[in-house]
């Protein structure tokens, strides 16, 4: 093949969505080495209103686009394929797409951003649900994955996710662990005190911040409970808003339940522009990721943004974050769902300058090691296994710094 390969990306696109941003960074990385890219945009909010013939039309449109591509790369999260309708619906829709792409002999790589198991409950009922879920994935999906010719490959961001997928009948040699790629470290030139003053906060205050979508699994309410245990100088900034397509009422719950004595110390911005987000990054003393213990993420764009912020990060001991920390030792880890420990960790990190400096330096090293540029060579290795005919194009050339990787789209959702 003399021409450069073409990848069809099946993903959300150009919307306030972490997966859309991930896909955009991937496209830019491939463009920098001369690959061609096309987008088959997913509109997950439309699933509950679709008729059966419209669902088939959606699939057939993607398959038609794929005919001229050399490889298809799917970004997978349950909600993107209709989990709002039902889990079974989402698995079938994804499986139906794989079936038709297999029919036209197109190699497919899928990045799974969450665990395929959507039911973490324990006990007999949880076990029975997991058995049914495994059967569903085996019936509609896993047979298309493997190491042989004509088989698809999967990418996950944590080893625990890979183990779960193998338990759900995915072939082990078709599931690859690639940590979530990171943005370059932020260059913060404004002092913390000046940034706080510009935001109308006391210059001597201590700002703990959570960036990104507001959702129950991210533990914003736990951060508020921890704030109640901290001295008056501590403020919590929740920089972001509810996902534009989410029907969850969690943000309303937070706004309703903030204790009166904390209302002057909790700052919820909603969606802000990039300049305002950067101002909050500059003002922040500690970034928080107090995710709940039952979270089934494979990786998180929000945590990579925090690691690139130049500020120390405190995160819950969920497997996706622990996988990162085993590699980089770049976060202070706390038990999930434990607000006493979270409050203690905040005071410890703020008081211990050598600890802060070590976390920030290790985070810088991690984001450089797992930059989009460095991660691309690992991704091309997966492409090579999935589509051996592309092997000659999967050797990474010297890249020219002629195009910046995008960061999170902080523009207000329209």
Which pLDDT value is given to residue 125? 65
Which pLDDT value is given to residue 119? 59
**Among residues of the chain, what percentage have pLDDT more than 70?**
92
Judgement on whether residues 269 and 331 belong to the same structural domain of the protein: yes
**Among residues of the chain, what percentage have pLDDT more than 90?**
60
E-state strands within 233-292: 234-239, 266-268, 286-289
Which pLDDT value is given to residue 183? 83
- Residue 339 inside a domain? The answer is yes
Question: Any idea what the CATH number is for the domain that residue 274 is in?
Answer: 3.40.50.2000
Mean pLDDT of 135-164: 90
Helical ranges in 141-191 per DSSP H: 159-167
> How far from 286 is each of 160, 210, 303, 358, CA to CA, in Å?
27, 9, 13, 13
Q: Which of the pair, 186 or 404, is modelled with greater confidence? A: 186
Mean pLDDT of 268-286: 90
Judgement on whether residues 340 and 228 belong to the same structural domain of the protein: yes
Judgement on whether residues 375 and 363 belong to the same structural domain of the protein: no
> pLDDT per residue over 173-218, tens digit each?
999 999 899 988 887 888 999 999 999 999 999 999 999 888 888 9
Residue 187 contacts residue 215 (beta carbons within 8 Å): no
Q: Which residues contact 24 (CB under 8 A, 6 or more apart)?
A: 13, 14, 406
Judgement on whether residues 156 and 205 belong to the same structural domain of the protein: no
Judgement on whether residues 289 and 318 belong to the same structural domain of the protein: yes
Judgement on whether residues 104 and 225 belong to the same structural domain of the protein: no
Which pLDDT value is given to residue 186? 80
Residue 271 contacts residue 410 (beta carbons within 8 Å): yes
Judgement on whether residues 26 and 157 belong to the same structural domain of the protein: yes
Which pLDDT value is given to residue 339? 96
Which pLDDT value is given to residue 301? 79
For 30, half-sphere exposure in the C-beta direction (CA atoms, 13 angstrom radius) is: 23
Is pTM, for the whole model, over 0.75? yes
Mean pLDDT of 312-338: 94
The answer on pLDDT for 395 being more than 80 is no
> pLDDT per residue over 20-56, tens digit each?
999 999 999 999 999 999 999 999 888 888 888 899 9
The answer on pLDDT for 147 being more than 60 is yes
Measured from the Cβ of residue 294, the count of other Cβ atoms closer than 10 Å reads: 12
Judgement on whether residues 196 and 314 belong to the same structural domain of the protein: yes
Domain that holds residue 272: 192-368
Judgement on whether residues 320 and 375 belong to the same structural domain of the protein: no
Q: Sorting pLDDT into bands at 50, 70 and 90, what band is 406? A: very low
Mean pLDDT of 356-372: 94
Judgement on whether residues 14 and 159 belong to the same structural domain of the protein: yes
Number of domains into which the chain is organized: 2
Judgement on whether residues 344 and 197 belong to the same structural domain of the protein: yes
Q: Sorting pLDDT into bands at 50, 70 and 90, what band is 392? A: confident
- Residue 278 inside a domain? The answer is yes
Q: Which of the pair, 371 or 17, is modelled with greater confidence? A: 371
- Residue 403 inside a domain? The answer is no
Mean pLDDT, the chain, rounded, equals 88
- Residue 170 inside a domain? The answer is yes
> pLDDT per residue over 47-102, tens digit each?
888 888 899 999 999 999 999 999 999 999 988 998 878 888 999 999 999 999 99
Judgement on whether residues 11 and 156 belong to the same structural domain of the protein: yes
User: Which has the closest alpha carbon to 362: 311, 317, 291, 407?
Assistant: 311
DSSP state of 111: E
């Amino acid at each position: 093949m003399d021409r450069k390969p073409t990848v069809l990306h099946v993903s959300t696109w150009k919307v306030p969505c972490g997966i859309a941003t991930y896909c955009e960074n991937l496209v830019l990385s491939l463009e920098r080495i001369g690959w061609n890219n096309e987008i088959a945009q997913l509109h997950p909010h439309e699933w509950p209103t679709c008729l059966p013939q419209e669902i088939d039309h959606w699939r057939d449109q993607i398959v038609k686009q794929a005919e001229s591509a050399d490889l298809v790369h799917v970004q997978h999260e349950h909600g993107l394929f209709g989990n709002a309708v039902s889990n079974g619906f989402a698995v079938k829709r994804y499986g139906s797409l794989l079936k038709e792409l297999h029919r036209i002999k197109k190699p497919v790589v899928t990045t799974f951003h969450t665990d395929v198991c959507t039911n973490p409950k324990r006990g007999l009922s949880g076990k029975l649900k997991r058995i049914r879920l495994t059967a569903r994935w085996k019936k509609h999906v896993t047979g298309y994955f493997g190491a042989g010719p004509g088989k698809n490959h999967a990418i996950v961001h944590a080893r625990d996710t890979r183990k779960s997928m193998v338990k759900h009948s995915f072939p082990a040699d078709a599931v690859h662990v690639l940590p979530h790629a990171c943005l370059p470290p932020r260059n913060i030139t404004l002092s913390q005190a000046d940034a706080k003053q510009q935001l109308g906060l006391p210059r001597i205050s201590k700002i703990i911040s959570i960036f990104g979508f507001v959702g129950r699994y991210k533990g914003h309410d736990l951060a508020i409970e921890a704030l109640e245990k901290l001295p008056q100088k501590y403020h919590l900034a929740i920089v972001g808003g509810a996902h534009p397509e989410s029907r969850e009422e969690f943000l309303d719950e937070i706004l309703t339940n903030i204790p009166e004595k904390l209302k002057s110390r909790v700052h919820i911005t909603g969606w802000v522009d990039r300049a305002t987000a950067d101002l909050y990054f500059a003002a922040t003393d500690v970034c928080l990721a107090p995710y709940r213990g039952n979270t089934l993420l494979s990786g998180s764009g929000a945590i990579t943004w925090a690691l690139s912020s130049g500020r120390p990060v405190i995160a819950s001991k969920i497997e996706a974050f622990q996988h990162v920390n085993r590699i980089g030792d770049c976060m202070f880890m706390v038990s999930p769902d434990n607000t006493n420990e979270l409050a203690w960790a905040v005071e410890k990190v703020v008081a211990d300058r050598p600890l802060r400096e070590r976390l920030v330096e290790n985070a810088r090293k991690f984001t450089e090691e797992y930059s989009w540029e460095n991660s691309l060579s690992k991704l091309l290795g997966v492409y090579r296994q999935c589509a051996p005919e592309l092997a000659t194009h999967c050797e990474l050339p010297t890249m020219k710094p002629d195009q910046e990787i995008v960061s999170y789209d902080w523009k207000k959702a329209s």
